[in-house]
Amino acid sequence: MKKLANKVALVTGGSRGIGAAIVQRLASEGASVAFTYTSDSSAEKASAIVADIQASGGRALAIKADSRQPEAVTGAVKATVNEFGGLDILVSNAGIFFAKDVSELSVSDYDEMMDINVKAVYVAALEAIKYLKQGSRIITIGSNMGDTAIMPQTLLYTMSKSALQGFTRALARDLGPKGISVTLVQPGPTTTDMNPDNTEFSDFLRSRMAMPEYGTAENIGALVAFLAGEESKYITGSFITADSGFNA
């Protein structure tokens, strides 16, 4: 039997990049997988992912839900439960990055970054907790920048990813007695639309790594699949950093 057979997962931001690799990996391990996306331009990609999973005999559902809107996030959890009859694995992955000089930052920049990178993670967890049972998992995608401020102009992103560390520690304490684990995956530079590996900036990032090579979305998908499975049951309240030694 596949490792995640009979499990239901919801992945936020699953149309592209790391989220799409997580969706595909969890489905290949046997989970029924719902995922969100937000832009109209990603609707076709989302449908193609669903079709691929169904063609391999799996179950998948794409949900258009903007993480900036708490009711959309709550609705995505409910839609997953309605479609697949429960929820075992919540992966909050949707996130944005922008860099701006501190002198130009505004309150609306703060709201934009925090609404998507932090508040939506909190809202999804609160709704998911209503359905998660013994053995369930809450896995969040943070960043190695949650540990290290690597350069100027990243105040809001760094702050948002550090906030996820407190979220993970404290929620693990709340949910431990129910047998639900809470973990944080902290990728380093991983080649996606957000952080392509063929730019001047990527050369700078590689120069900071112990092994100067970008990660792939599939590397992170494999790590999330491990955390979602039975073999990780001793791990909760922890951060797992996969960054080619960037923070070493």
Q: Does 146 bind ligand NDP (CB under 6 A)?
A: no
Determine whether 186 is exposed, middle or buried from the number of CB atoms within 10 Å of its CB (0-12, 13-18, 19+). Answer: buried
CA distance 90 to 209: 30
Q: Taking Cα atoms as reference points, which of 231, 191, 220, 224 lies closest to residue 89?
A: 224
Helix (H) and strand (E) counts for the chain? 8, 7
| Residue 221 touches ligand NDP, criterion: CB under 6 A | no
**How far apart, in Å, are the Cα atoms of 85 and each of 2, 38, 77, 131, 148?**
19, 24, 11, 10, 40
**234 is known as an active-site residue:** no
Is residue 13 a contact residue for ligand NDP (CB under 6 A)?
yes
User: Could you say which of 79, 96, 114, 222 contacts ligand NDP (CB under 6 A)?
Assistant: 96
- With CB under 6 A as the contact rule, which of the stretches 66-74, 81-89, 129-137, 233-241 interacts with ligand NDP? 66-74
Rank residues 98 and 179 by Cβ distance to ligand NDP and give the closer one: 98
Q: Is 158 in the site for ligand NDP (CB under 6 A)?
A: no
For residues 78-102, one letter each, b for 16 or more C-beta atoms within 10 angstroms of the residue's C-beta and e for the rest, the string is ebbbeebeebbbbbbbbbbeeebee
Provide CB contacts within 8 A for 88, sequence distance 6+.
7, 8, 9, 31, 132, 133, 135, 136, 137
Binding ligand NDP (rule: CB under 6 A), the pick from 1, 103, 108, 193 is 193
Q: Based on CB atoms, which residue is closest to ligand NDP, 6 or 47?
A: 47
Under the binding rule (CB under 6 A), the answer on residue 18 touching ligand NDP is: yes
Residue type, 244: S
Are the beta carbons of 36 and 14 closer than 8 angstroms?
yes
Least Cβ distance, residue 38 to ligand NDP (angstroms)? 4
Tell me which residue of 113, 157, 142, 130 sits closest to 238, measured CA to CA. 142
Nearer to ligand NDP, 136 or 241 (CB): 241
Stretch that binds ligand NDP, among 52-60, 129-137, 168-176, 184-192 (CB under 6 A): 184-192
Element (H, E) at 120: helix 120-128
| Contact letters for ligand NDP, residues 111-130 (x by CB under 6 A) | -----x--------------
Contacting residue, 19, 172, 223, 227, with ligand NDP by CB under 6 A: 19
Q: Considering the candidates 37, 122, 131, 157, report the single residue annotated as catalytic.
A: 157
Give the interface with ligand NDP as residue ranges (CB under 6 A).
Answer: 12-19, 36-39, 42, 66-68, 93-97, 116, 141, 143, 187, 189-190, 192-195
Active site residues: 157
